[in-house]
A and B are shown apart, each in its own frame.
Chain A
Amino acid sequence: MPPHPSEPTIVARGLARAFGARTALHPTDLALGPGGVIGLLGPNGSGKSTLLRMLVGLVRPDAGSAVVAGVPLAGDGTAIRRRATYAPGELALYGELSGRDHLGWLLRGRERAARSRAIALAETLGLPLSARVRSYSHGMKRQLLFSAALAPAVPVRILDEPTEGLDPTKRGEVLDLVADDARAGRTILLSSHHLGEVDRACDRLVFLAAGRKIADETAASVARRARRLVRVAYATEADLLLAEREVGRLAGASPRREAGRLSVLLEDDDPRAFLAALSDLRVLPAPQSVEYGQISLQELYRELYGVEGC
């Protein structure tokens, strides 16, 4: 039964999985959608792929339940995969097939029109569909999987690392297509281990670390919080030490030396007051660079969520 238009389209309750002694995912709750692009972020080994595979029935959970597009997770998940497409993160394809034939193979069980839509998408992305897939580059294979996942008329798409290995231009094209697709009312859950790679297309970000969900925020909120981190670079180590001492005296600023730069965590989302105070510190030499609003996943986890070792 399709979910009510206002109900979440991806729901998980206590979904958990261990592989032997290693816990890949601790009990996790999710309520995503309806509609929008949701980024599932976390470093390698954080449980992203396990969670995505469980949502489409490829991995059986040890505990918990899930409902995707109104279909409860049961058996081998075929019923869910009829209502949701999935693009695996693994890039192993059948090299002996042509791109066109591979799309046909990937779209088995989908409506007839999906194939022509996938071919059109692949052509938009510039894929040589007559060539054998074994001649494709890493990025081309990724785009082929993406084209197949974006073509069927389903309410949910689950994409594991859809931009991994793509150059910035192609990544932008792919994310634009994702955003366009979401505007048609679809819920798209995509994973990445690079914050700066996918967040521009996402409305919401879910963060995983060591198999646990550590945050679930709107992308705007994360961007706002990211602006709390200001990095200032100085020419010499002596300047950096001096800057650390002086900046530490400023209210609402916690400096830390890191990789030849000063990382300053602000209490306020708006960095303007700090930047004004910094420029007023006449004892300091002029910085080589000042950067804010840019944050890596590792920094985000450490500075904002207090999670180390990602």
Chain B
Amino acid sequence: MGREARFYAFGSLAYFVVLEALLIGAVLFWPDFEDNLEALRDMAPLQALKGMLDQIGAGGVAAYVNGQHFFKGCNTVGTLAAVIFAMNAVAGEAHRGTLELWLSRPVSRRRLLLERWVGGALAVVVPVFASTLSIPWLLGFVEAEMQLGPLLLGAAHQSLLLLAIYAAAFLWSCLTARPILIAFGMLLFTVLQFSVYLIQVATHWSLFRLTDIDVFVRIGATHALDGRICWPLAGVSAALLATALFVFERRTP
């Protein structure tokens, strides 16, 4: 296995383990959560959180699992993984001083970059699907159930948002030699987005609204992806990748 493949494989495995641990904890906590939903709603300090708990109350275990796994787990750990994979792709090489070495072989830059992009993208989305696959089995422990089909559609929807975040960080990686700058920049962006999510009058401006519980509940109800969200997300990722290729072709090592 090549060094790049090893990095993605081990990184992806670690990311999967964290996602799965969060998921197991969340699923096993469901009976207690359900029993105490009213009390939790009364304690929730923000309207946005009360709204979320209302949705779980209405949607039951499906809304709860979607919220725990996609909205909380994948959005936090997935974003972190996307940034780590992207920031090391090119900026990491430049920072280590190995960019010239990486480019000096008789392999085109387009190919090198696409290999990295695809490797990182798979490392970001495969754990989302892999952990999602375990949900029906885990729910058996709390005597609940969900259909796999809508869950996989939810995973696809969530992956599109993570890919867009990954593509943005990847483009940034093609522009700079300082991976730490990307890490802090994306952390700041994520915190800002989550803050906006919590503000009732501004919540619709938050990127996290694209993967809110109601979106997954809708996917579950219609058994179809929401084209109004998915196509723009896919388009953004494609445009960011095209820009990254353009920038990388001209980059001086």
Task: Show the binding face of A for B, using Cβ within 8 Å.
Answer: 19, 53, 56, 58-60, 75-76, 78, 81-82, 86-88, 90, 92-94, 96-97, 101, 105-110
Contact = CB atoms under 8 A, between A and B. Distances in A.
Interface in B32-90: none
A141 to B, nearest CB: 11
Nearest to A109: B106
Contacts of B252: 19, 58-60
A202 to B, nearest CB: 23
Contact of A81 (B100, B106, B253): B106
A82 B106 contact: yes
A93 B122 CA distance: 26
Given A58-B104, A76-B108, A105 B96 contact: no
B134 interface: no
Contacts of B97: 90, 92
Interface in B1-33: 2-3
A75 to B, nearest CB: 8
A78 B106 contact: yes
- Counting chain A CB atoms within 10 Å of each CB, the highest count among B3, B97, B98, B100 belongs to B100
Contacts of A97: 3
B107 A108 contact: yes
Q: Which 3 A-B residue pairs are closest in the complex by CB-CB distance?
A: A92-B97, A109-B106, A81-B106
Nearest to B93: A92
Given A58-B253, A60-B252, A94-B98, A88 B3 contact: no
A143 B104 CA distance: 17
B247 to A, nearest CB: 13
A309 B105 CA distance: 36
B107 A78 contact: yes
A76 B110 CA distance: 9
B103 interface: yes
B152 to A, nearest CB: 36
A101 B6 CA distance: 13
B106 A58 contact: no
A105 B104 CA distance: 11
A88 B109 CA distance: 17
Contacts of B105: 81, 106-109
B249 interface: yes
Contacts of A94: 3, 98
Contacts of B228: none
Given A81-B105, A93-B101, A53 B253 contact: yes
Given A78-B108, A81-B106, A93-B98, A60 B2 contact: no
A88 to B, nearest CB: 5
B253 A96 contact: no
B199 to A, nearest CB: 43
27 contacts: A19-B252, A53-B100, A53-B253, A58-B100, A59-B252, A60-B250, A76-B108, A76-B249, A78-B106, A78-B107, A81-B104, A81-B106, A82-B106, A86-B104, A88-B100, A90-B100, A90-B101, A92-B96, A92-B98, A92-B100, A93-B101, A101-B3, A105-B3, A106-B101, A106-B105, A108-B105, A110-B106
A105 B2 CA distance: 8
A75 B249 CA distance: 8
Nearest to B6: A96
B98 A58 contact: no
A87 B55 CA distance: 61
Contacts of B109: 76, 78
Contacts of A96: 3
Nearest to B110: A76
Contacts of A93: 98, 101
A92 B92 CA distance: 12
Contacts of B103: 58, 76
A69 to B, nearest CB: 12
A88 B100 CA distance: 7
Nearest to A95: B96
Contact of A56 (B104, B108, B110, B250): B104
